[in-house]
Structure 1
């Protein structure tokens, strides 16, 4: 296991596991931690041996928000010049699947980080919310946008205006997360699912992710044209030949991501 200042990273076969590691402050997201997260995402994205990324938190929280002490004395011009969300924007450029295993509180920036992942598995005891309004501010790393796209306008406004937390079961009902899992099994089941995705054809997984995200922002017609191009592109891959040959030969395919 490799350790950075505020996170731990570990390879589990084709899965890259990242653990946020500021448990004494419930993994509050300071700028250094975000930088380390993005740096590790990009490292795993370039690594041919890693096919899926899993993100979780050490201790009682996934991430209980931004580091308020770091921001309390900032002013508007300073924040603009700092451009602290530039690192967040790099997360959307990661091509490989990212699965969040939310083990406790995912609040404010922590909720935004979870929503920036592709899939969310949550402990039965997980709590989600945007408490920024109680501090006189609002989400700034995508919370108003991703929550609205996932849950709709009325629920997004209710959650962000009230600052109240919701349970994992409520988050599941709102389609914000994929599964609710017993706390003691959360990481095990998340890694098992990641392992299943890691067995699939990497280029197909990559272009599926790209196509699904494209669907969020364009018309159905434009999206279908985009999908079709990606479908055709996969017929230039060795994995497509291997996958179809293995099917005809009734054996398990061996995908190489080429």
Structure 2
């Protein structure tokens, strides 16, 4: 009997699309996160992928987080290693030098928001759902990086307030809280995903130098956790890599010649 596909992988226009698919709420189990981890690694190694986009199947949920029935049946030993693997997977996503966009097609709560916060940018369908980390209502904390990523996005005091209250709020409020970068108006779920793909393509060649985009991401993601002088060292080394690239030569030449650059990703 073949394994159920819980994470779909496809490449369209240089964008690797990872779709979480376990209806009705795309909640994740250890099995889904194993597939998600494999998909992250596949997108990382795929030379045809310049940007990664994560979304949920259907129109109602990006993801409602961890499968509560699974957690209810599991012992503390399993739960610990389940969280450890989830942390490792999301760290891999952050460490991959390709821009990651979470396309929030529906409710994005609990561990679903923790996945989205591990992305570099978050775009959401207008009026399509709510955000939040309600784990406190289960007597636990957001244990897939939520306590650490949220404070780095919205600040220490505000993140404690949001997690301690455990309330949900709509995508538009998420924009005000800096949890959402862009709100997209769409007539349907398919229309939203098509528009999210068009947004993602803005960061691929020939529109952008994808290596530069990836190194900007790596400089921020690595540097934010380092002392300032060490972070500047990371920045210089990544810049030196770009100085040796064909796209840097093209970008500088295009500026001097007053024309639009045609980036190749090399």
Normalised by the size of structure 1, how large is the TM-score? 0.90
Kindly state the Cα deviation for residue 151 of structure 1 after the two structures are TM-superposed: 1.0
Give deviations 1:18-58, integer Å, cap 9, x for gaps: 2211122x100111222222211221221111111111111
Structure 1 runs not aligned, ≥5 long:
none
Alpha-carbon RMSD: 2.1
Alignment match, 1:153? 156
Answer whether contact 2:40 2:92 (CA < 8 A) is retained. no
Q: Aligned residue pairs: how many?
A: 255
Answer whether contact 2:27 2:67 (CA < 8 A) is retained. yes
> For 2:263, which of 242, 255, 258 is the aligned residue?
255
Alignment match, 1:190? 196
Task: Indicate yes or no: 2:76 matched with 1:70.
Answer: no
What SS does the corresponding residue of 1:19 show, helix, strand or coil? strand
Alignment match, 1:7? 7
Kindly state the Cα deviation for residue 81 of structure 1 after the two structures are TM-superposed: 5.0
Task: For 1:22-171, list aligned pairs within 5 A.
Answer: 22-24=22-24, 26-59=25-58, 60-81=60-81, 83-85=84-86, 86-125=88-127, 126-171=129-174
> Matched residues in 2 for 1:212 and 1:63: separation?
26
Kindly state the Cα deviation for residue 117 of structure 1 after the two structures are TM-superposed: 0.6
Answer whether contact 1:103 1:183 (CA < 8 A) is retained. no
Alignment match, 2:242? 234
Kindly state the Cα deviation for residue 75 of structure 1 after the two structures are TM-superposed: 2.9
Alignment match, 1:18? 18
Kindly state the Cα deviation for residue 202 of structure 1 after the two structures are TM-superposed: 2.2
Kindly state the Cα deviation for residue 152 of structure 1 after the two structures are TM-superposed: 1.4
Normalised by the size of structure 2, how large is the TM-score? 0.87
> Matched residues in 2 for 1:142 and 1:10: separation?
26
What SS does the corresponding residue of 1:72 show, helix, strand or coil? helix
Answer whether contact 2:56 2:63 (CA < 8 A) is retained. yes
Answer whether contact 1:121 1:186 (CA < 8 A) is retained. no
